[in-house]
Amino acid sequence: MPDLKIPSEMLSGPFLFGALALGIAFIVVATTKFKLHPFLALIITAYGMGLCGGMTPTQTIAALTGGFGKTISYIGIVIACGCIIGMVLEKSGCALVMANLMLRLIGRSRSVLAMSCTGALVSIPVFCDSGYVILSPLTRSLARQTGVSLATFAVALSMGLYATHCLVPPTPGPIATAGELRADIGTVILLGALVVIPIVAATYAYAQFAGRRIFVDAHRPGETAASEPAANAPSYGAFAAFSPILFPVLLIALKSVADLPSRPLGDGSLRVVLGMLGDPNAALVLGVFLAAFVVRRHGLESFATWCGDGLRDAGTIILITAAGGALGGVLRETPIAKLVGDGLSTFNLGTFSIVLPFIVAAGLKTSIGSSTVAMITTASLVSHLLPSMGLATGFGPALATLAIASGAMMVSHVNDSYFWVITQMSNLSVSQGYRLITVASGIAGLTGILTVFLLSLFLL
């Protein structure tokens, strides 16, 4: 017997967008008012969206499990190892050493801005998801030391990472978009770096504003400042304390350099080795072993206990993040993305033509969750429109690339795995995630397109 599904003639734009709005509303209400676990809320919504999107139950399950598995394959080992490193750094006192050093160097008043800038630099070679996992122990320790809400550091770090992840190659989104639009990579890097500056400034200001209104305790549930094992004066040097974080970042960065089209490190054995060790999964595993070496004075038993504690935290984070990926995977198989792209690409904005790629990318990002998919899809939709928009020559393709990248930040919410990485690793509820991360990503995207538009007035 064939699977039942909604007839294709019913799959109109209003019906599909109404179903998407109801699905998002269900996640928010179910997790906040009725205290349903986010994992279950996301899986239920993913299944419902598949059926409402015209897929059969069998197709829906295939898309759901495919999205779930793809997300775990990408982020599972990274989160697990990141949580182990974070727990080891916290329990051993290394995180306290890092926080105290940063506070001495930059001062308490500038610690949040430092995390914004750190995120922007780290995410050039490192995916924003991986970067947040790697740096979250430092934000937690800084929040404890300064008494500032963890929400402030979460927004500042996540948006710094987000900005360069979307705007500055060599991450896949801007690379693929630039290639589709035939934009010069060097120009995209230079202009993208300029666009990142006002985005970091705007999201930093919002982090300060929101953090004063939403206090999130940096201590883990049931943990107090007095009960922290790291509260006693630690005896680690700064280099040793930072090395489990910096070493994986360095390996990932070197792999990105080795993979550049110009092949600056050649195509020999060095590139092969960096390709293996610089993969985020391998780099984080090596980071765990380095952390074990750094804290060896505590003994193997303590290290094993901290690993277990870290993996218990990681299990929930991985499952919720993968459930978000499952929802995104289902949405990408529905007609929503095509409806958004086809509908918005017919607009004629005249003088403001640079805004069109932004609008298309923003619609796709909000609908399907993935910034990279939104960027690549938008590029394929608007590439043939560049001549009519006056963006086919000179700086036009590069500015169109950055307009698409800005739209791909609009906005991060429950169908985006990055949303769940941030919220789950920073003790944020779903409603807090919307007030902090979703709003901040909207500010980032709007600031980005405003900057690109102003650049276009001078460069086109």
What is 408-448 written as a DSSP string?
TTS---TT-HHHHHHHHHTT--HHHHIIIIIHHHHHHHHHH
> What band does 222 get if pLDDT is binned at 50, 70 and 90?
low
Greater model confidence, 333 or 155: 155
Q: Is 6 left (phi over 0), alpha (psi -120 to 50) or beta?
A: beta
- Identity (one letter) of the amino acid at 446? L
Q: Provide the CA 293 distance to its chain's centre, in angstroms.
A: 30
Top-ranked range on mean pLDDT: pick from 71-80, 212-221, 278-287: 278-287
| Nearest alpha carbon to residue 407 among 341, 338, 358 | 358
pLDDT at 455: 93
| Nearest alpha carbon to residue 254 among 242, 270, 237 | 270
Greater model confidence, 245 or 8: 245
Give the SS3 label for residue 330: helix
Residues 6+ apart with CB under 8 A from 273: none
Greater model confidence, 266 or 10: 266
Task: Supply 226's token pair.
Answer: 């007095």
Task: Supply 364's token pair.
Answer: 């796709």
pLDDT at 131: 83
Greater model confidence, 445 or 239: 445
pLDDT at 257: 79
Top-ranked range on mean pLDDT: pick from 251-255, 364-368, 423-427: 423-427
Greater model confidence, 373 or 403: 403
- Percent share of the chain, pLDDT over 70: 90
Reported as a single tens digit per residue, the pLDDT across 130-178 is 889 888 888 888 898 888 999 999 999 999 999 998 998 767 788 888 8
Reported as a single tens digit per residue, the pLDDT across 279-298 is 888 988 999 999 999 988 88
Q: Would the CA dihedral through 421, 427, 430, 436 be positive or negative? A: negative
Greater model confidence, 287 or 352: 287
- Identity (one letter) of the amino acid at 429? S
Is pLDDT at 1 greater than 50 in this prediction? Answer: no
Whole-angstrom distance, CA of residue 74 vs CA of residue 91: 27
pTM: 0.78
Distance between start and end Cα atoms, the chain: 59
